[in-house]
Structure 1
Amino acid sequence: MKTRKLGNSEITVSSIGLGLMGMSGLYGHSNDEQSIQTIQRAIDLGVNLLDTADVYGNGHNEELLGRALKGRREQAIVATKFAHGPNFQGVNGHPDYVKKAVEDSLLRLDIDYIDLYYQHRVDPNVPIEETVGAMADLVKEGKVRYLGLSEASAQTIRRAHAVHPISALQTEYSLWSRDVEAEILPVVNELGITFVAYSPLSRGFISGELRKFEDLAEDDVRRYLPRFQKENFQKNVDIVDEITKIAKEKGSTPSQLALAWSLAKGALPIPGTRRVSFLEENAGASDIVLTPDDLARIEAVSPQSAVQGGRYDDISMKGLNI
């Protein structure tokens, strides 16, 4: 596994990470033992950036990661997030909440410090300077090593970075979600902040595993996202089929091609999976080199304008890029 330096830090991270959200039931039934095997296999492969959040499974996801890291803590870079209330209700960036949230996360993770601590969503009612100031105190106390933001605007990133160095900005970024390219990517590149791309496979759609709406379990949250709706589903499958053709010519899978695309764009993707086989497939993307001609062909068959449906509903989108 190739590695890179995490922005404004002394941490070396894998060029591809592992997102753990799907291990806590949000994408249908999950199995803890299978998930732990996947996390531990990730570490074996050198995939050391492990991404969770306190709200995933309302604490279950952090506890799961804590169990998986028994005896292997020093081999992992633990990234977690705070801000949401239970079941993603509300956003809280008040300094007192920050201090409580980190203690709760440390307890669930059963570790002494967090490597990368993100504000999951920006609280529009609390100045970012106050929130990041409280996060900076956690660094001084040794509870957190480095700080991150998620789904923050370019202006907010600059203001936060002026209070304390920001090491990572995490936002959805994939062939089908590219709005960050206009303002956010230039800012993080200027400030030396690593851009961490979540859902780099558009929540699994680009993997080619999903062929029809009915493939989604009844309790899968993707059923409620616009691009997974029945009226959009088949049109998006058609785009994946074109991506798959290019992937086959490169001797890769569509997932690997999409991840190699994000790497070529300078992002650090954190694809999520519960299965060892998919983890190993995703890790293999770090060895794929895309030429300018490859990138042009991918762009031609999958321009952002082609995807049908947004990444969230209209209400949820209003809480992004604050």
Structure 2
Amino acid sequence: MALQAWSPLDKGALAGRTRADNPARRMDPVFKTVAGDRVLQETLARVAERLGTSRAVVALAWLVAKGAFPLVGARRRSHAESAAEAARLDLPGWAVGELDRASGRYRSLWGRCCSELSWSRVLPGLLQALVFKYILRGI
């Protein structure tokens, strides 16, 4: 059994996009939260700089390192190239650890999903909570 990561870059938030410049981003409370998370954004930027790659590549490689298969939408050639680079990148342990710590607050999504997320995201939120709780934390 394998986990497929739905919206692995959260509408670009994990690639460094922080402006809600279209309806999908404006209506997505998860995008707003992740885009405004300074700790996570700075950690992604620092790891990407140290590895000489982009935030998107680092975020996708982190998912792969956790055993997930990210489903990436590619509107441009550069998107497909980033996905391919992430598949080849063997993320070092220090980077996985930093990203785990920076994303730790999202592992408790289960308790917040119904109060903080809109109903349009409840089902994905519940699934994400189960994934974080049981798979990515390593039961």
TM-score using structure 2 length = 0.70
Aligned-pair CA distance for 1:270? 1.1
Q: Contact conserved, 1:211 with 1:237, CA < 8 A, in 2?
A: no
Of the three residues 210, 221, 226, the one matched with 2:24 is 221
Q: How far, CA to CA, are the matches of 2:35 and 2:69 in structure 1?
A: 29
Aligned-pair CA distance for 1:278? 1.8
**Local SS of the residue matching 2:11:** coil
Aligned-pair CA distance for 1:275? 1.0
Q: How far, CA to CA, are the matches of 1:276 and 1:237 in structure 2?
A: 29
- Whether 1:212 aligns to 2:13 is no
CA deviations 1:131-184 (Å, max 9, x no partner) are xxxxxxxxxxxxxxxxxxxxxxxxxxxxxxxxxxxxxxxxxxxxxxxxxxxxxx
Of the three residues 267, 270, 274, the one matched with 2:68 is 267
Q: Contact conserved, 2:10 with 2:31, CA < 8 A, in 1?
A: no
Aligned-pair CA distance for 1:300? 2.0
Q: How far, CA to CA, are the matches of 1:315 and 1:270 in structure 2?
A: 20
Aligned-pair CA distance for 1:237? 5.0
Q: State the identity %.
A: 25
Q: How far, CA to CA, are the matches of 1:275 and 1:226 in structure 2?
A: 25
Count how many residue pairs are aligned between Structure 1 and Structure 2: 122
The structure whose Rg is larger is 1
Aligned-pair CA distance for 1:194? 2.5
Matches within 5 A, 1:277-288: 277-288=78-89
Corresponding residue for 1:4?
A: none
Q: Contact conserved, 1:198 with 1:269, CA < 8 A, in 2?
A: yes
Q: Contact conserved, 1:236 with 1:307, CA < 8 A, in 2?
A: no
Corresponding residue for 2:135?
A: none
Corresponding residue for 2:5?
A: 197
Q: How far, CA to CA, are the matches of 1:276 and 1:282 in structure 2?
A: 10
Higher share of residues assigned helix? 2
Corresponding residue for 2:133?
A: none
Q: How far, CA to CA, are the matches of 2:97 and 2:59 in structure 1?
A: 13
Q: How far, CA to CA, are the matches of 1:262 and 1:236 in structure 2?
A: 18
Matches within 5 A, 1:1-322: 193-208=1-16, 210-213=17-20, 216-217=21-22, 220-229=23-32, 232=33, 235-305=36-106, 312-314=117-119, 316-317=121-122
Aligned-pair CA distance for 1:243? 1.0
Corresponding residue for 2:134?
A: none
Q: How far, CA to CA, are the matches of 1:256 and 1:234 in structure 2?
A: 17
Higher share of residues assigned strand? 1
Q: How far, CA to CA, are the matches of 2:78 and 2:107 in structure 1?
A: 30
Q: How far, CA to CA, are the matches of 1:237 and 1:288 in structure 2?
A: 25
Q: Contact conserved, 1:200 with 1:259, CA < 8 A, in 2?
A: yes
Q: How far, CA to CA, are the matches of 2:80 and 2:122 in structure 1?
A: 29
Q: Contact conserved, 2:48 with 2:54, CA < 8 A, in 1?
A: yes
Q: Contact conserved, 2:8 with 2:72, CA < 8 A, in 1?
A: yes
Runs ≥4 residues deviating over 4 A: 306-312, 318-321
TM-score using structure 1 length = 0.33
Aligned-pair CA distance for 1:301? 2.5
Unaligned runs of 5+ in 2: 128-139
Q: Contact conserved, 2:61 with 2:91, CA < 8 A, in 1?
A: yes
Aligned-pair CA distance for 1:196? 1.4
Unaligned runs of 5+ in 1: 1-192
